Amino acid sequence: MENKPWFTSARAAVAYDGVILDAIHQFKYGRNITTGAALARLLSDFDFEDLEWGIFDAIVPVPLHIKRLRERGFNQSLILAR
């Protein structure tokens, strides 16, 4: 029996540098929920269909290790995915 992968590819919506890098760090490590809301709006407003890799099935959060979850107090990727 062949085990099929859960997904075949993953992509980033934006480059992880500059102002985006700063915003993500404020959200993740500074617990800046307002910045997280702005990042979520950026994702929801983004026109993914214009990208060369086409339509996607889902935006999914990356689970945090329990230690990281305790340190941060929240899972930032879950907030963005919702």
Q: Could you tell me the pLDDT band of residue 53, with boundaries at 50, 70 and 90?
A: low
- For residue 55, the model assigns a pLDDT of 67
Is pTM beyond 0.85? Reply is no
**pLDDT beyond 60 at 1:** no
What are the C-alpha distances in Å from 49 to residues 1, 5, 13, 45? 35, 24, 11, 12
Mean pLDDT computed over 5-27:
85
End-to-end Cα separation, the chain, in angstroms:
35
